[in-house]
Chains A and B, each alone.
Chain A
């Protein structure tokens, strides 16, 4: 597996710049997880603040506002835990380059959620992030400097 990891540079070297973007995004998500996890454990700030702000955000879609008040807020800890879990999955997957394609789709869904709950001024950042995830999924960024190359060689298919 380790051999395949480095071998990928030789055979899919054109994806190397994409791998740097992927690894950086992985680091970004892991950093986010550490911050959010700390807040989640000590119970100060974090997603409870973000959900309340989202509820008071005028631009929030009506259906999401309903979902937020009826489902998410009454079970906010479960949702906060799920978001942190998904962020961790994206972070680890991007860094080791494993199941990058399906995880990118998860990341897009996460970003759509951020778009709805975060203040309007961060909208452009999350849109950029969505385009990065789509690009990573499109090119199969886990195939270079990632474990996906090992599985791709053996199994082929859309998942790698």
Chain B
């Protein structure tokens, strides 16, 4: 027993001394680093992250380190409990729902805009947010192939019997586009009509995938003829695959839109550099990169001019709104109940 206690004691003493005498050099390197938490699509080598990092590092003395996040709610929860020891300097990919559902769990730092920015009209209402800076946006609609015969002009047209099993949707509990669709339905119809519509849609849809990418995969593999996605999706196929067979559908109901924000937690370590990075995201150069790599629209005017993105028709969109958390939870619960009962 004595041997065992001494052995374990020695091990912990060794570890403690390693912890206290770790190299101070690492700390100096950390002082010049901005830790940016972003989604995998942003950080990936084909995403905007690596190019933005390269340009920002050329312009500033700070280094950027991207940390991949998979789930915004879990990331915020982690920053909340890590508190002062959290490394997060900037968090990217916060959408309007995250802002009301999870962002209030931690404190955010107000971000000073370095220049007067001419935001596009769709984003202007949320551009004055002190703690969150919008950096890209896109309306959302159904995407189809040009060769598909479709007479879809409204949400109701999606319930046509010939479209049964042909629509790929997302689960609103796990996917932001899924939640966009759910909110779109509730905002377009009265509560009773919305309930009826969702019940019918539960039977009509091919599936409710846990993520946008999973549902888009179904559409790409011809397992579904329609998918709920961004109106910028067809331009991706055009530019990356030289395929002009995809189009977004305009409906009578004004389209929902997703705006992505950047935020700086109040526990940031390198706050000034974080602010510089967020302001850098609003530069025309960074906006062009985000647009062409993330396939989202720029938030500032004139960036997409003379680019293929200029051809994207911006249909009538719903003004961006921050919903109360209770309301969103209630709508999700309604959807969950419908799914449980399989639309009966």
Enumerate chain A interface residues (CB-CB to B < 8 A).
37, 41-45, 48-49, 51-53, 55-56, 73-74, 76-77, 81, 84-85, 88-89, 92-93, 98-99, 102-103, 106, 151, 159
Instruction: Indicate if the CB atoms of A74 and B74 lie closer than 8 Å.
Output: no
State the CA gap A99–B86 with chains docked (Å): 37
Q: Chain B contacts of A88 at CB under 8 A? A: 11, 14-15
Q: Chain B contacts of A41 at CB under 8 A? A: 19, 22, 26
| Cβ of A101 to closest chain B Cβ, rounded Å | 9
State the CA gap A53–B70 with chains docked (Å): 11
Instruction: For the A-B complex with A53-B74, A55-B77, A81-B19 known, give 17 more contacts whose Cβ atoms are closer than 8 Å.
Output: A41-B22, A43-B82, A43-B85, A43-B86, A52-B74, A73-B81, A74-B81, A76-B81, A81-B15, A85-B12, A88-B11, A89-B8, A98-B7, A103-B4, A106-B8, A159-B3, A159-B4
Instruction: Indicate if the CB atoms of A85 and B4 lie closer than 8 Å.
Output: no
| Cβ of A133 to closest chain B Cβ, rounded Å | 15
Q: Which of B1, B35, B74 contacts A56 (CB 8 A)?
A: B74
Q: Chain A contacts of B3 at CB under 8 A? A: 98-99, 151, 159
Please classify how large the interface on chain B is, using the bins under 10, 10 to 19, 20 to 34, 35 or more. 20 to 34
Enumerate chain B interface residues (CB-CB to A < 8 A).
1, 3-4, 7-8, 11-12, 14-15, 18-19, 22, 26, 30, 35, 67, 74, 77-78, 81-82, 85-87
Given contacts A42-B26, A77-B85, contact A52 B7 (CB under 8 A): no
State the CA gap A56–B176 with chains docked (Å): 18
By secondary structure, the B interface counts as helix
State the CA gap A99–B5 with chains docked (Å): 10
Given contacts A88-B11, A99-B4, A103-B4, contact A44 B81 (CB under 8 A): no
Q: Chain A contacts of B74 at CB under 8 A? A: 52-53, 56
Total A-B Cβ pairs within 8 A: 62
Q: Which of A43, A52, A53 contacts B81 (CB 8 A)?
A: A52
Q: Chain B contacts of A52 at CB under 8 A? A: 74, 77-78, 81
Instruction: Indicate if the CB atoms of A102 and B4 lie closer than 8 Å.
Output: yes
By beta carbon, the residue of chain A nearest B3 is: A99
| Cβ of B268 to closest chain A Cβ, rounded Å | 13
Q: Which of A76, A89, A92 contacts B82 (CB 8 A)?
A: A76
By beta carbon, the residue of chain B nearest A106 is: B8
State the CA gap A53–B81 with chains docked (Å): 13
Taking each of A89, A98, A102, A106, which has the highest tally of chain B beta carbons within 10 Å of its own beta carbon? A89
Taking each of B4, B14, B85, which has the highest tally of chain A beta carbons within 10 Å of its own beta carbon? B4
| Cβ of B169 to closest chain A Cβ, rounded Å | 23
By beta carbon, the residue of chain A nearest B78 is: A52
Closest 6 CB pairs of A and B: A89-B11, A102-B4, A52-B78, A99-B4, A73-B81, A85-B12
27 contacts between A and B (CB under 8 A): A41-B19, A41-B22, A41-B26, A42-B26, A42-B87, A43-B82, A43-B85, A43-B86, A43-B87, A48-B81, A48-B82, A49-B78, A51-B81, A56-B77, A73-B81, A77-B85, A81-B19, A85-B12, A85-B15, A88-B11, A88-B14, A89-B11, A98-B3, A99-B3, A103-B7, A151-B3, A159-B1
